Every structure is written in structure tokens, then in C-alpha cells.
Chain A
Amino acid sequence: GENVEQHPSTLSVQEGDSAVIKCTYSDSASNYFPWYKQELGKRPQLIIDIRSNVGEKKDQRIAVTLNKTAKHFSLHITETQPEDSAVYFCAAMGTYKYIFGTGTRLKVLA
């Protein structure tokens, strides 16, 4: 069935360093890949997304890359700050629904 694997499950980085989170999806028909940030006790919020006709998208310190052939996509956060600490979820859009990855808890150490 449809599946999205996400790695790592936890990630600790020093403030100012970069963080990379990777996802792999199984449904070759998936054509939209959002990333959500969820702070403790809050709702998931969309931070960046990419569609299947694009290989890379950047928004200030965050970027997403997509390799459709390999069914991989990744989130890159540069110059990390303490407020980047949260759980990050990738997702792949299947037929009318998101399939979420299992989440990555990112800790940015000051």
C-alpha cells in the first residue's frame, strides 16, 4: 500500500548548522509533497511544498528537493535557529489524501 518513510526520527544540530530530513514514498502517482512543522502542543503548519514537475524549491532558509525517479524528497534547513526546534512531517499526496511520514524531532542546540 501507500507508504512514506522518513529519516531520521530525531536530529540534534548546533545552532547555525544545517539540518536535512529525508523521505521516500511508494506511490509513483504522488504529485505533491508538502512539509509540515509541528511545535509542541500546536497544529501542523505548512512550511514548504513541492510539486512533481519541479526538482527544487527554496524559501529563505528552507529548501526542498525532489527526485521522482528515486521517489525521494528532502527538507534542508540552513543556519538553524532555536525556534526551528519542532517535529517535522513530510507527506506525499496520493488519491485525494496525504500519506504522512513518521516525523522527525529536530532539536537545535544553542
Chain B
Amino acid sequence: DTAVSQTPKYLVTQMGNDKSIKCEQNLGHDTMYWYKQDSKKFLKIMFSYNNKELIINETVPNRFSPKSPDKAHLNLHINSLELGDSAVYFCASSQSVSSYEQYFGPGTRLTVT
């Protein structure tokens, strides 16, 4: 009965590689988000999609490319990984773009070596 799920939970990879993180929500929500939480625990929004359309792109390097095949899924693809990409990435969803409550996934800990 997991509401927002992410895979994988852990991802260890080398610099220069390309990797993807997947997110799925079964809440019937229209809006999904990607957040990055760095080693100092700062939570910062990266992207937001509403009904498969990009509505927020917070000046993230274009090595990061989100894709939403349908409104229940929002994936994050990262090209040419760098050491500074190491962080925990959280997916979240909300009922609509103007809804207040956001529900977070369990996070994906990405380590770039």
C-alpha cells in the first residue's frame, strides 16, 4: 500500500556514468516533484510536473533530465555523473499543482565515486 515509491533505494556509481531513478505514486495525484537533499540535509526542489507537463525547473544542470510517461510516474535521468551529485533524491506528489500537502517517497541515496 506504498503511496510514493522510488527505485533504487541505494545507487553507487562512478563519475561519468549515466543513471536513472524511478518514482511511482498510487495516490491518483496530478503533480509530482523531485527534491535533492545534500549532506547538510538541505532540501531543495529540482523539478515539478503536473499531468506530465514540466512546471518547475529550478536551474538544475541539463545533465539532469526528468521524464513523466504518465501522471503516476516521474523518473530522473542523470548523465555524466559528478561527485557533487552525491545526495539523497526524494520524489514527492500532491493532489494538484495548487494543493498544499506533499507526500514524499523513501528517497534514493546516490553515491558517486
Residues of A that sit less than 8 Å from B by CB: 32, 34, 36, 38, 42-46, 49, 51, 87, 89, 93, 96-98, 100, 102-103
Contact = CB atoms under 8 A, between A and B. Distances in A.
| Chain A interface helix/strand/loop/mixed | strand
Contacts of A103: 41-43
What 6 A-B pairs have minimum CB-CB distances, sorted nearest first?
Answer: A43-B104, A100-B43, A32-B100, A103-B41, A44-B104, A97-B45
Contacts of B98: 96
Contacts of A43: 90, 104-107
Interface residues of B, number: 23
Contact of A44 (B40, B43, B50, B100): B43
A96 B90 contact: no
9 contacts: A34-B100, A43-B105, A44-B43, A49-B100, A51-B100, A89-B43, A96-B56, A97-B33, A102-B42
